[in-house]
Amino acid sequence: MATTKNIHGDTPATLAAKLGWKDMIDEVFSEYAVTYEYAETDLQIYKAALRNKWDDVCGLFEATPQLKIKPVNERLETPLMIAVGTNSSHDFVKQLLNNVHRYDSDQWCRVNIHGNNALHYAAKVGNMIDAKLMQQCLPYTMQRVKNIHGDTPYLLAAKLGSKDMLNILYTFTDNVGNLVVSAIQAGEIDFALGIIPRYTPDEKEPNALEALATKPEYFRSGNGLGFWCGLICPSCVLTRSFNSVLLLPFAYVKWQIQEIKRKKLPSQKIVLEICEKIEKNPKDAKKYFEPAIATAVKYGNVELIEECILAYPGLIWYEFDGYNLFHLAIKERQVQVYNLVYQMSGHKAFAASELHGEGKENALHIVASEHHGQEKENALHIVANEHHGEEKENALHIVAKLAPSHRLNTITGAALKLQNELQWYKEVETFVEPEHVKALNKDGKTPWMVFTHEHEALLKEGQQWMKDTATSCTVVAALIVTITFAAAITVPGGNEDDGKPVFLNERAFMLFMITDAIALFSSSTSLLMFLGILTSRYAEIDFLHALPKRLTIGLASLFLSIAGTMIAFGATLVLLLHDKVTWIAAPVVMMTSIPVGLYALLQFPLLVEIVWSTYGPSIFRKQGSRIIY
């Protein structure tokens, strides 16, 4: 540190001299006398550490033992760091650590300018020999040191996928919690499962369940395979984005399925083992589960939540910053977590007692006091009708608020984003009591008032997106109408004296006439649909069905008209040139397919997504056979 310079190029000593602090100058030079007196030895030690030449510097170390722990370059690397980093200077390291007890243990734990100590170096290069030696000779505190990136040695080893190094660190570590969390964060789920038996879930230890909650990709529901996931994992819910399914290569699908089969089982076992440990010490359950479940909801890790609820049913009524599990799922727009409501049986009496809170009058208290014994009421209505804390907000007020931006950004186009928001609102509306549809929150607003206010900017974006899309497509559709109508009147080759087309008996001519008619009719339909969009009132509710329906018909008709126009044009070329150029048909077909293919590549995914979101299966449905509560 004595040689470290600040942004002005001053070392501690030079800065003290500038300020005239004589006592400070003496203190700095006395503490780091070795640094200045033996500066000429740094290069010699540096080379010896790199080349495993202990004999070249053993005399220096015997004369001045403090050189063993002194930085030898501008990166503040000590001889131990350099030797360990080579992964070959093992004898140098062994000799260096002889009589380690002579020095303050903290001196061996020095870090370089990046915050790495010698154990970080061993983890980085996979130096297991020296790692074992350091673990035996040096203090455990080395394992807990974080570098400037926040990585401990075992987290660094986990990130690099060094299982052998992780096993070494595990053998000597006194903090299994940190190692489990580090392994999970780095994706080494199998290793984490192996050391879970030594892990103790309590508030003093790092929360392994919370770390696993951030990794939904290691569970079936978080793999992102959509349709393909449904084939191998029946409990998975299809995502709205169907584009990736259409474009997903089969080889990649096969690899992903193998990865899921390999990794899903360890993650589930970790959850189950942690839950079993917590069951033995239930007094810490709330403090341990709360952050884990809240994180799992935000990441959409539904399987972790499901396993935890099955092990500890009371979790379903825990509150997270004033929201219960389902309210938080609505707030975060996590559909898979919300769908757990479809896996609940009727437990209103028990739910009422679970949700009892001081000074919080909610729908469950009303149900318990006024409607007890009416079997037709079930837990679905209870969840939806509960008032949110003291703000008197019900589930509709929560869903009326704008979704988090990271959830909205997964949907293409402002119009489809607004449609998804409306679908959420309508879904929750089916579960609340009729009086809650018009209920007022603390600001005196009904849920629909909140929805209108929160989505005002998104509505404007949706209107503009719809208008821009419709305007562009209207121009194209109008041109195709004009061209195809003219082509139908002035047929290729002209007419004979009796008015019959010259090529009437040619098969290519019949193809021309049929495709031209299809193009004319479909482009006219498309034009009418896009004009209907341009003249729409653009109210919020129109984005749920009316506008997406018109856009779907318009885009599909436009695609058909473009394809028909290209085929008709190709048929015309074949008719006119086939006598002189017999091979003309093949290149014409290839060239005709280019604009059709470009349109399909650019616009067809949007069409599929609109159809899927408007007419596809609802995302709100039962996704598993197990009853969780």
Q: Which of 23, 67, 19, 66 is nearest to 11 (CA)?
A: 19
Same domain, residue pair 359 and 326: yes
The pLDDT, as a whole number, for residue 454 is: 93
Q: What is the per-residue pLDDT for 450? A: 93
Residues 309 and 440 in one domain: yes
164 & 290 share domain: no
Nearest Cα neighbor of 455 from 485, 480, 419 is 419
Residue 209 in domain: no
* Token reading at 110: 């020095």
Look-up of token digits 């208008």: 467
Q: pLDDT of 23-73, one tens digit each? A: 554 454 444 444 444 556 888 888 898 999 998 888 888 888 888 888 888
Do both 474 and 500 map to the same domain?
yes
Task: Show which of 457, 477, 505 is a domain's final residue.
Answer: 457
Angle subtended by helix axes 507-534 and 546-577, to nearest 10? 150
Average pLDDT over residues 335-353: 66
Which among 457, 481, 497 is the end of a domain?
457
Average pLDDT score over residue span 293-302: 91
Please give the pLDDT value at position 182: 80
pLDDT for position 12: 59
CA–CA separation, 320 and 371 (whole Å): 28
Decide which of 620 and 262 is more confident.
620
Which of 216-230, 329-343, 423-437 has the weakest average pLDDT? 216-230
CB 462 within 8 A of CB 415: yes
Mean pLDDT of 382-399: 63
| Interval 563-587: pLDDT, tens | 888 888 888 777 777 666 667 667 7
Q: Give pLDDT, residue 455.
A: 94
Structure tokens belonging to residue 104 = 């303050």
Q: Judge if 575 and 479 occupy the same domain.
A: yes
217 belongs to a structural domain: no
On whether residue 181 sits in a domain, the answer given is no
pLDDT at 358: 33
What pLDDT, on the 0 to 100 scale, is given for residue 174? 64
pLDDT for res 32? 42
Residue 294 lies in a domain: yes
Q: Which of 129, 156, 174 is the last residue in one of the domains?
A: 174
* C-alpha torsion sign, points 429, 433, 439, 442: negative
The pLDDT of residue 37: 45
* Residue 333 confidence (pLDDT): 92
Q: Please determine, for residue 251, whether its predicted confidence score (pLDDT) is greater than 60.
A: no
List the beta bridge partners of residue 501.
495
Residue 597 and residue 480 share a domain = yes
Do residues 400 and 262 share a domain? yes
Q: Please indicate, yes or no, if residue 333 is contained in any of the structural domains.
A: yes
pLDDT at 201 over 90: no
Any domain includes 12: no
Q: Full-prediction pTM beyond 0.75?
A: no
Structural domain containing residue 500? 465-615
Distance CA 433, CA 329 (A): 20
The C-alpha atoms of residue 273 and residue 264 are separated, in whole angstroms, by 15
Q: How many CB atoms lie within 10 A of CB 283?
A: 8
Q: What is the CATH number of the domain that holds 351?
A: 1.25.40.20
Number of domains in the chain: 3
Average pLDDT of the chain to the nearest whole number: 76
- What's the rounded mean pLDDT across residues 575-603? 72
One domain, residues 64 and 125 = yes
Task: With a cut of 70, say whether residue 112 has pLDDT above it.
Answer: yes
pLDDT digits (tens, 9 = 90+) for 154-171: 778 877 777 778 777 776
Average pLDDT score over residue span 68-94: 88
Nearest to 493 by CA among 564, 569, 572, 579: 572
Same domain, 161 and 286: no
Q: Which of 10-24, 104-118, 465-479 has the lowest mean pLDDT?
A: 10-24
Q: What is the pLDDT of residue 468?
A: 92
Domain annotation covers residue 590: yes
412 and 518 belong to one structural domain: no
**Same domain (yes/no): 442, 469:** no
Q: Is residue 4 part of a domain?
A: no
Band the pLDDT of 546: cuts 50, 70, 90.
very high
pLDDT over threshold 90, residue 21: no
Is 412 in the same domain as 475? Answer: no
